[in-house]
Amino acid sequence: MTINLNPYLSFRDDAYEAMQHYQKVFGGELTRSTFAEYGMAQDPSENDRTMHSQLVTERGWVLMGADTPASMEHRPGGHSVSLSGGAEDGEELHRIFDGLAEGGEVQEPLAKAPWGDEFGMVTDRHGVKWMVNIAGG
């Protein structure tokens, strides 16, 4: 069996909205379970919040996310996800960067970097930081 490394993002109460946004950006199939479905809500107001969600893309990428219950500490912006590929992936990585930037804040536009690649950084509208690198771009 193959071992996989998958980013798992935490949100306060908008995990499902965020994961739906990522589905638009990356494509793929999104599944979701709520706290109520597993009897895990500590407060009835959390019944419809996301206990676990998983986006599996056609490329085989897996991105997971969940809401943080009110009883637990949540640290927004504590994530950083990196995407990298070669020049042959440049068009798709530009599309992904633009999708993540929609409604977010670009810290570094996706452009030629001193090391010769294209590189950019963006914080999406859900507070997740993304770095995109296109080798030889």
What's the confidence (pLDDT) of residue 18?
A: 97
Write out pLDDT tens, residues 92-135.
999 999 999 999 999 999 999 988 999 999 999 999 999 999 99
Q: What is the distance between the alpha carbons of residues 116 and 128, in angstroms, rounded to a whole number?
A: 26
pTM of the model: 0.87
Q: Computed over its alpha carbons, how large is the radius of gyration of the chain? A: 16
Amino acid at 136: G
Is residue 108 included in any domain, yes or no?
yes
Asked whether residue 44 falls in the same domain as residue 85, the answer is no
Element (H, E) at 134: strand 129-135
Is residue 1 included in any domain, yes or no?
no
Write out pLDDT tens, residues 33-54.
999 998 877 788 889 999 999 9
Amino acid at 85: G
Looking up residue 127, the CATH number of its domain turns out to be 3.10.180.10
Tokens matching residue 27: 């494509």
In which domain, by residue range, is 45 found? 8-67
Q: What is the distance between the alpha carbons of residues 135 and 137, in angstroms, rounded to a whole number?
A: 5
